[in-house]
Amino acid sequence: MVISRRALLATGAATVVVAAGLGGAALGHRLDDLARNVGIEPHKEPDPADDRLIARVAADQNTLLAQVEALAVKHAKLGLSPFVAISTAHAKAVGVPAVVPDIAAPPANRAKAVDALVAAYSAASKARAADSVKAASPALARVLASMSAGLAQCARGVGELR
Amino acid sequence: MTSTETLQDWLALEHEAVWLYPVIGARFGALAERARTSYDDHGTVRDGLLARLHQLRVEPVPPALSYDVVRVRNKARALAAARQLERDIAAVCLRLAGDSTGDLRTYATRGLRRAALAELTWGGRPDAFPGLP
């Protein structure tokens, strides 16, 4: 049995939409749009703990996306566009908040900037792996486990830019 | 599909990896060191899976009688074969992550991460969602 990317991410998005409906106001109407785009209906009885988990993951991943984007602009020669694309995909999978998170300015020194991004990806990878084990929904567990592996790949990929 | 069946699918792929990497290392000197490391890593995972299945009192699947040698007839194809095998392992680990809970899910998530990184070792590029087709 092969699990399709579209089906799995759609299931994750359904849970996020319900989280927004239950009071995750920061997630906003864009999540409804995301659900419509993948042709799904919100899950009728989501696990409240999963809703909270997704809201936290969405905040984390969008902060990471903001860090990668800021660093990609400041150090354009690093060629970080593939990593921006991956972080964008991660953020979209769990929901994009209405407000762009505040982040510290990226280091001016190239080596320190790379080190900071490697550390951020590594920390996010470990966090998503731990989150996967906490998830009640098997579909959410898979999305988070896969995301963790993708983040580990990013950590290594960015590290090779040193 | 039960988690035990998924563990068996994973083991079958690890048997294949333990066959594949020595072949790659023997045929292509430039890849020998990488192949040795991969062989050691997959041997360790295979042994861990065998132990888990024995604990479950399940007869582990044996290695296949033969594998497709043609796919490693040149260096480019050998690299592609290694990447594909790591992607297949990532996919089965992802399935197991959803079929299981607790310790077994942690084990599957680690396996998925290891396979995703191994794919890079063999020339793959970072992907947002390893394990998903």
Model pLDDT for residues A55-75, shown as the tens digit of each residue: 999 999 999 999 999 999 999
Residues of the domain holding B91: 3-121
Indicate the number of domains in chain B. Answer: 1
Question: What interhelical angle do A5-21 and A81-94 show, nearest 10?
Answer: 60
Quick check: A36 pLDDT over 90?
no
Extract the tokens encoding A162.
């040193």
For chain A, positions 79-98, list CB contacts with chain B under 8 A: 82-83, 85-86, 89-90, 93
ipTM of the complex: 0.95
| Inter-chain touch B116–A129, beta carbons under 8 Å | no
CATH of the domain at B53: 1.20.1260.10
Extract the tokens encoding A47.
């696990």
Residue at B109 is within a domain: yes
Indicate the number of domains in chain A. Answer: 1
Report whether B7 contacts B52 (CB < 8 A): yes
Lowest mean pLDDT among A36-40, A101-105, B39-43, B74-78: A36-40
- Please give the pLDDT value at position A32: 43
By Cβ distance, the residue of A5, A141, A152 closest to B129 is A5
Chain B CA closest to residue A158? B126
| Inter-chain touch B129–A83, beta carbons under 8 Å | no
Interface residue B5 vs chain A (CB under 8 A)? no
The residues, ordered by sequence, that sit 6+ positions from B8 with a Cβ below 8 Å of its Cβ are B53, B58, B60, B61
DSSP per residue, chain A: ----HHHHHHHHHHHHHHHHHTT-GGG-THHHHHHHHTT----SS--HHHHHHHHHHHHHHHHHHHHHHHHHHHTGGG--HHHHHHHHHHHHHH---SSPPP-PPPPSSHHHHHHHHHHHHHHHHHHHHHHHHH-SSHHHHHHHHHHHHHHHHHHHHHHTT-
Question: How confident is the model over A8-25, as pLDDT tens digits?
Answer: 666 555 444 434 333 333
Residue at B128 is within a domain: no
Per-residue pLDDT of chain B (133 residues; tens, 9 = 90+): 799 999 999 999 999 999 999 999 999 999 999 999 999 999 999 999 999 999 999 999 999 999 998 889 999 999 999 999 999 999 999 999 999 999 999 999 999 999 999 999 999 999 999 999 8
3-class DSSP state for residue B97?
helix
- Please give the pLDDT value at position A26: 39
Report whether B131 contacts B90 (CB < 8 A): yes
DSSP state of B109: H
The count of other CB atoms within 10 Å of the CB of residue A132 is 27
B73-81: list long-range contacts, CB under 8 Å, 24+ apart: B75/B28, B75/B30, B75/B31, B78/B24, B78/B27, B78/B28, B78/B31, B79/B31, B79/B122, B79/B123, B81/B20, B81/B24
Looking at chain A, the whole-number percentage of residues with pLDDT higher than 90 is 63
- Please give the pLDDT value at position A95: 87
Quickly state the pLDDT bin for A101 (edges 50, 70, 90): confident
Torsion angles phi and psi, residue A107, rounded to 5 = -60, 145
Task: Please tell me the distance in Å from A103's CA to the nearest CA on chain B.
Answer: 22
Quickly state the pLDDT bin for A29 (edges 50, 70, 90): very low
State the average pLDDT for chain A: 81
Instruction: Give the DSSP H or E segment for B36.
Output: helix B32-55
Question: How confident is the model over A130-144, as pLDDT tens digits?
Answer: 999 999 999 999 999
Q: Give the number of residues written for chain A.
A: 162
Quick check: A39 pLDDT over 60?
no
Residues of the domain holding A88: 5-159
Residue at B131 is within a domain: no
Chain A CA closest to residue B115? A149
Report whether A15 contacts A140 (CB < 8 A): yes
- Please give the pLDDT value at position A43: 52
Task: Please tell me the distance in Å from B107's CA to the nearest CA on chain A.
Answer: 10
Q: Which residue has the tokens 């299931």?
A: A11
Mean pLDDT of the A101-117 span: 93
Distance between alpha carbon A87 and the CA centroid of its chain, in Å? 6
The count of other CB atoms within 10 Å of the CB of residue A116 is 17
Distance CA B21, CA A19 (A): 46
Residues of chain A in contact with residue B98, where contact means CB-CB under 8 angstroms, are 3, 138-139, 141-142
Quick check: A31 pLDDT over 80?
no
Chain A CA closest to residue B107? A133
